[in-house]
Amino acid sequence: MEGSTSASGAAMSDMEAMMKELGLKEDDLVDIVVEDGDIPEEAARWMAIARVHIDRSYSQYWFFRQMRVAWDLAQEVKFRPLEDNLYTLQFSCLGDWE
């Protein structure tokens, strides 16, 4: 039981560190709720948060496709929209994440 508490604490501190590095604050993620059991330790291994800075509308499909082509990834990346212009990206391997 103690190990699960420390693992969830480590996952939350990793998320807080990522948010700080990206300049995101709690107010930016008001609609996002993360429960302790929602983030498996392995699933959050190679994740990133991305924000698109554009005023005009764009197709998410083409955005996702163009990013995959531009990054020339070895394996698939999963994009998940969080809110307008904010996404989580889950990479399949360390090389793609770096």
The predicted model scores a pTM of 0.48
Percent of the chain topping pLDDT 70? 66
Question: Looking at beta carbons, which pairs linking 6-12 to residues 24 or more positions away fall under 8 Å?
Answer: 7/41, 8/36, 8/39, 11/39, 11/41, 11/44
| pLDDT tens readout for residues 37-71 | 655 555 557 777 888 888 888 888 888 888 888 87
Look up residue 59 and give its amino acid. Answer: S
Q: What is the pLDDT of residue 3?
A: 46
pLDDT band per the 50, 70, 90 thresholds, residue 18: confident
Q: Are 16 and 28 in contact (CB under 8 A)?
A: no
CA dist 45 and 11 (Å) reads: 9
DSSP SS3 for 67: helix
CA dist 91 and 7 (Å) reads: 21
Other beta carbons within 10 angstroms of residue 91's beta carbon come to 20
